[in-house]
Structure 1
Amino acid sequence: MMPTDAMAPWQQRVHDHAAAAIDAGRMGHALLFCGPARLGKRRVAEQLAQRVLCLAPDTGLRPCGACRACRLYLSRSQKDPLEERPDKALAHPFGHPAHPDAVFVSYAWRFTPSPPRQMTQISVDQVRELSERLSTTPQYGTAKVAIIEPADAMNEAAANALLKTLEEPVPGRYLWLVTDNPARLPATIRSRCQRLEFRIPPADEAAAWLRAQGHPAAAAVEALAAARGHPGLADAWLRDGGMALRKAVAAELGRVARNDASALEIAKAWTGDDDADKRLRHAADIAVSEAAGLTDPLRIRKLAAWFDAANRTRDLLRTTVRADLAVAELLLSWRSAAGGDTARGVAK
């Protein structure tokens, strides 16, 4: 079975609720799309943006897809951003909408000093340009839409500049923030936005969706269990080899826990390619899964401490620290956290 391009059921529910509220005038100009990563927040925001800009939306809460506005919105540049030399304010890895009334803001490219590199924050200049573009008259229809993602990447000056725009809404202007981490946004911004929450769907719905993406039923169930019910994460792991990597990490943690392998040798293998961060993510998640099945408070505290240590080690790997030694120290502490024997979740 080939993957389907239709929105997932949980995405469709959020979309339809928001579209109906917008039509009824119950939705404010500022929306906060929030929830775990890989649940489709960006996709729903884009679909809603196209619908708001559509000149002839149908009664099924969908954009028509055929009017001039829809065609412009869907007309994206697929060129490499570096070849296009995008403007510093509006560079975005998802391409650039040709619709003049759609504004996307994300990480930008810095071209000086060379070589070009992607910025790690959303700057005040980007937000100021967004505000200026929102203040102009729409070229098509009566609406303008701006999407900021990830909104929590705004620096302090950018957040302060955005606050002024939020406090002075203009009819027909929509400002939508997309984030996996709403708590990282200033409370003053969160309080001025209506939240659209994305939540992990029911297990049967998630499994059906994974099968619709072309994954075998058994693999879908296994990946969902590993991802603790998160269908987007399970889908990614099944597509990019993440499940195989997770199983390898689990097996190696088991060997370390049984003292069947050298922590340093495993650490060298884990840091010998570009997947070190992924391995540590899986290892931290395995610790959480192991703790979930325990009743011993001491073991739970040890695993929680090890989870924190694994994430600190991930941060260390972005520094000049010697990666294999940092990971080896982490793995040595796993023997104590895992109780000195193979943890249930690790053996599988």
Structure 2
Amino acid sequence: MTARPPALGASDKLTFLLSLIPYLMDHDSVTVAEVAGHFGVPAERVREAVRLIAVSGIPGETHQYLDGDLFDIHWDEFEEHDRITLTHLVAIDDSPRFSAREAAALIAGLQYLSSLPENADRDAVASLMAKLSRGASGTPTQLAVSSPDSDAAMSVIQSAGRSSVQVAFDYLNARGEHEHRFVDPLRLESVDNDWYLRGWCHLRQAPRTFRLDRMSELRTTTEPVGSHDAGLVLPDTLFQASDDDLSVVIELPASALVLLADYAPARATTPAGGDRVRTTLRVAHYHGLKRLVAGLAGLVTVVEPAEARQAVADWAAAGAARYDDPSGEA
């Protein structure tokens, strides 16, 4: 005699049904055995649930259950081949859906998240993107987040993150110095078009941020990451001050301060006339100001020290000289 599966309470049956219906909607046709294996329940329990679904629905305007008010399945496939295929859905089709534009925006965000090393389960992300596409009220715009130039470096870092090993590379810092680093990769982040690795630097014995386009000879190692990872909390801001940093006073519109959140969170400001304010940044090297000023062109003015102003002025003059030189060489 075949043992019957243990009886389920009403709440357990409801939970199983609420999980089973979305699963069946995501699979055009699936066998009873596949469903049973997915949910870890006996096959007979799946069959009972499918039979219950087929007599469930929402009464129409007549308050009676007519054919169009019930779920339906392909009965021949179910009874002869033990295969489940939903042929009619009720209520769920009428639930609110993302618009095509909303779904496209969410899919783009998921594509970005899938590039981060901590999100190693790409299959789960791909499945969620497929669900968003199917569940939208219209066909989402076909788009893709463009791959950065540092794609190869990101691939190496992601591989190291999945294997929990260190990466090694030669690094050109802001002062123009080359150093060999061994780093536990923790996170990849972007600011505009630049990508950064945040990790535990074994040379400095502290968290550090590295620009991917300043790395060379990047490779994974066989050295495991340190045990500090479990308790290490990365700051919310990308760039962190150090004792060796240099102070620079800049002036900009008060409304643009939010654009400096990664560089100078919660910095004190002083009025500079009109809607402009002055604040102080800490940078590793005055030449690092060039990218900041270029990214906020026309908004930021370097006030002091003189060396910082000169570094930015020389850089701007070199760029302008290219427009005056017919050969294109400064």
State whether TM-score is above 0.5: no
TM band (smaller chain): under 0.3
TM-score computed with the length of structure 2 as normaliser:
0.21
The structure that is strand-richer by fraction is 2
The structure that is helix-richer by fraction is 1
Higher relative contact order (CA 8 A, sep 6+): 1
